[in-house]
Amino acid sequence: MDRGKLPLAIALLLAVCSLGPTSFAEKVHCDLQPVDPKRGEVTYTTNQVSEGCVAEAPNAVLQVHVLFLEFPNEVSQLELTLQASKKQNGTQPHEVLLVIIVNKNVFVQFQAPGIPLHLAYNPSLVIFQESPRANLTQLPPFTTKSHILDWAATKGSITSAATLKDPSSIVLWLGQDETAGPGHAQGHSAAPKLPTHCMLEASQDMGRMLEWRPRAPALVRECRLEGVAGHKEAHILRLLPGSGAGPRRVTVKVELSCTSGDPDAVLILQGPPYVSWQIDANHNMQIWTTGEYSIKIFPDNSIQGHVLPDTLQGLLGEAQKLDASIVASFVELPLASDISLRSSSCDDRLQTTPTPIPTTLPKYSCSPELLLSLIQPKCANDIMTLVLKKDHVQALQCIITGLTFWDPSCRAEDRDDQFVLSSSYASCGMEATANMISNEVVISFLSGSSPLRKKVQCVNMDSISFQLGLYLSPHFLQASSTLELGQQGFVQVSMSPSITEVTLQIDSCHLDLGPELDTVELIQGRAAKGSCVSMLSPSPDGDPRFSFLLRVYMVPTPMAGTLSCNLALRPRTLSQEIYRSVSMRLNIVSPDLSGKGLVLPAVLGITFGAFLIGALLTAALWCIYSHTRSPSKREPVVAVAAPASSESSSTNHSIGSTQSTPCSTSSMA
């Protein structure tokens, strides 16, 4: 061989030897096609959101969480759970204000066990399947996210805010270390310090604060590795890097089934270097992962993984190297905490032509529970009315043929885009008491199945009155219409007649002292406003109570005021509230100073008066002395000044006696 060509031959030989699996994988042809959902599906939960923020508020009395939920369908379902941290060790959890903003109608299955909760949402769009045990706050008529966040910040420190697109379930973890999610590994690195203000940013990791599951499953694709004589099927999951780079553990549950026997499978898991895996599989399989992994039944036994390529072709090459001839599922996911892979694959299931995906709509599957939750009666002017929108019924895939009261002759009217069912209190089988109106609604279906029945009730608001009572002691024995400045007032709101089926709450209260003084806010958002206001335990009859204290010094001194409260009534059978207002006139008097000592203005006035009198008296004595002394017997200036000095000293002592503590001033009076 020509020695001049020897270096070139060596270089070519080294290049050939350096070709790894990735280089060969680039030559492997595998036409990935979507998998029929009946044969395979991948669902997941994640902490990644399209927009979000998490802030630190360690001393906040009220934690504020804001959820912006975007749904593509006219009607959707959502599971929403608020979970208190296990680290609280039995201590009382923080109060929480949850603000829910939605763009479409949503039915919410809600849980918040043991959490003192305030809710703010649009009752026209958000329907809870069961009335939540929470204080409700009316949302302002804002439409932009920035305005809503500004309003929420007036209620308390915003701990988290997130925008979620079409979620099926959400879990908010309260009172935890917000810097890592439930699947985040602990003790590997110091968590970054959280900001003190929550500002929405794109593509955020919500950490330990929030987990959610998208409604739509991930896109799963499959293919046959052409020219490969292997006999195994590969399942490849690739996690894309997220905004959070802290160590975390991802749980992967794999369920494989095949009618011809157990498949010979390979599981390839590729993700960022800070991800470890816990695998729960129902079959034996070969496992190939990045980072460390463990099997669920042996969680403490970690196995070191491998260095895997982070490209499609590279991962296909790894499947080929492991003797896989079929890629039964290939999925790319955002950084997730829990992944569930279900596949009914067999190694001979793939045909040369991929099975077409059905494009027909799902078969009829009306949800009776959701349909009944749309039935919300309203009563006014001696008439009960129910409105059922047609687009809501269609979104639930329900086909109804009739909507009537208990009396089948009272049928709903078909009005363009809605069904309207109404009746007076005296017909259609209405049961009317002094305060409640009740009936039964019957919904019939085209499918021939049994009709749905729901008992409906309304509160007869025309027969109910509300009263504000002011009391001067916490015993609430004798009402008063007069309040003294500096005196504590005790307020009770009562409803007459009392109705056990209705819960009464104070939404807001304020005291108007006239045009020359600012309005005193007492209650806002069903919470005390300021340290001088306290929410008290309800009366034995359930009437809400609170107390407040007016400061003593007001300029000008008010003589009267108007105490006004907005009330929220919630019937137990309805998810929507009814709002009413009530007010009373108060006489306001200045404090009685007898036996209580002098207040500061009086002390200052007396002190100034005593000083002025002393000064005038000294001047008068000096004038008398200077005009009555003998001009022929002029004494030295020192001799003349001595008596005056003594006189002035005595007078100054008298003046000094008026500048004393309130107790001594009080004794002089």
Highest-scoring range by mean pLDDT, 163-177, 324-338, 490-504, 507-521:
324-338
Q: 548, 489 in Cβ contact below 8 A?
A: yes
Among 206, 209, 234, 184, CA closest to 338: 184
Q: pLDDT higher for 24 or 160?
A: 160
- What's residue 356's pLDDT? 44
- Summarize the chain as % helix, strand, coil (round to 5): 20, 40, 40
The pLDDT confidence band at residue 45, using thresholds 50, 70 and 90, is: very high
- Burial label, 169 (beta-carbon count in 10 A; 0-12, 13-18, 19+): middle
pLDDT at residue 249 tops 60: yes
Q: pLDDT higher for 304 or 595?
A: 304
Instruction: Give the mean pLDDT of 369-385.
Output: 84
What pLDDT, in 10s, does the model give residues 394-423? 777 788 888 999 999 999 998 888 899 999
- What's residue 93's pLDDT? 56
- Of the listed ranges 309-313, 465-469, 554-558, 560-564, the least confidently predicted one is 554-558
Instruction: Give the mean pLDDT of 109-115.
Output: 87
Task: State the Cα–Cα distance between residues 520 and 518, nearest whole angstrom.
Answer: 6
Among 113, 129, 110, CA closest to 67: 110
- What's residue 259's pLDDT? 60
pLDDT at residue 575 tops 90: no
pLDDT at residue 190 tops 80: no
pLDDT at residue 435 tops 80: no
- Percent of the chain past pLDDT 90, that is, above it, reads 29
- What's residue 275's pLDDT? 92
Q: Which two tokens stand for residue 100?
A: 């829910």
Q: 560, 515 in Cβ contact below 8 A?
A: no
The pLDDT confidence band at residue 591, using thresholds 50, 70 and 90, is: confident
The pLDDT confidence band at residue 658, using thresholds 50, 70 and 90, is: very low
- What's residue 364's pLDDT? 46
- Of the listed ranges 386-390, 515-519, 656-660, the least confidently predicted one is 656-660
Q: pLDDT higher for 177 or 319?
A: 319
- What's residue 563's pLDDT? 92
The pLDDT confidence band at residue 80, using thresholds 50, 70 and 90, is: very high
- Of the listed ranges 157-161, 374-378, 447-451, the least confidently predicted one is 447-451
Task: State the Cα–Cα distance between residues 227 and 231, nearest whole angstrom.
Answer: 12
Instruction: Give the mean pLDDT of 321-338.
Output: 91
Q: 386, 375 in Cβ contact below 8 A?
A: yes
- What's residue 415's pLDDT? 85
Q: 511, 563 in Cβ contact below 8 A?
A: yes
- Of the listed ranges 266-280, 339-353, 543-557, 599-613, the least confidently predicted one is 339-353
- What's residue 655's pLDDT? 33
Instruction: Give the mean pLDDT of 437-456.
Output: 86
Q: pLDDT higher for 365 or 385?
A: 385
Q: Which residues pair with 483 in a beta bridge?
A: 588
Write the CA distances from 403 to 432, 453, 584, integer angstroms.
21, 10, 45
Average pLDDT of the chain?
Answer: 79
- What's residue 101's pLDDT? 95
Q: Which two tokens stand for residue 216?
A: 């739509």
Q: pLDDT higher for 456 or 396?
A: 456
pLDDT at residue 276 tops 90: yes
Amino acid identity for residue 524 in this structure? Q
- What count of residues does the chain have? 669
* DSSP 8-state secondary structure symbol assigned to residue 313: H
Q: Which two tokens stand for residue 171?
A: 């879990």
Q: Which two tokens stand for residue 60?
A: 């906040």
Highest-scoring range by mean pLDDT, 8-17, 175-184, 323-332, 444-453:
323-332
Among 283, 305, 307, 194, CA closest to 246: 194
What pLDDT, in 10s, does the model give residues 513-524? 888 888 888 987
- What's residue 188's pLDDT? 43
Task: State the Cα–Cα distance between residues 618 and 457, nearest whole angstrom.
Answer: 86
Half-sphere exposure of 91 (CA within 13 A, CB side): 9
- Of the listed ranges 242-246, 371-375, 453-457, 580-584, the least confidently predicted one is 242-246
What pLDDT, in 10s, does the model give residues 524-560? 777 788 788 999 999 988 899 999 988 776 667 788 8
pLDDT at residue 566 tops 80: yes
Peptide bond just before 474 cis, omega within 30 deg? no
- Burial label, 216 (beta-carbon count in 10 A; 0-12, 13-18, 19+): exposed
- Of the listed ranges 59-73, 186-200, 256-270, the least confidently predicted one is 186-200
Q: Which two tokens stand for residue 566?
A: 């907005």
Instruction: Write the CB contacts of 566 (distance below 8 Å, at least 6 apart in sequence).
Output: 506, 507, 508, 509, 579, 580, 581
pLDDT at residue 279 tops 80: yes
Task: State the Cα–Cα distance between residues 319 and 234, nearest whole angstrom.
Answer: 6
The pLDDT confidence band at residue 183, using thresholds 50, 70 and 90, is: low
Q: 402, 452 in Cβ contact below 8 A?
A: no
pLDDT at residue 493 tops 90: yes
Q: Which residues pair with 124 in a beta bridge?
A: none
Instruction: Give the mean pLDDT of 599-610.
Output: 69
Highest-scoring range by mean pLDDT, 264-273, 376-385, 635-644:
264-273
The pLDDT confidence band at residue 180, using thresholds 50, 70 and 90, is: very low
Task: State the Cα–Cα distance between residues 458 and 405, nearest whole angstrom.
Answer: 14
Instruction: Give the mean pLDDT of 457-478.
Output: 87
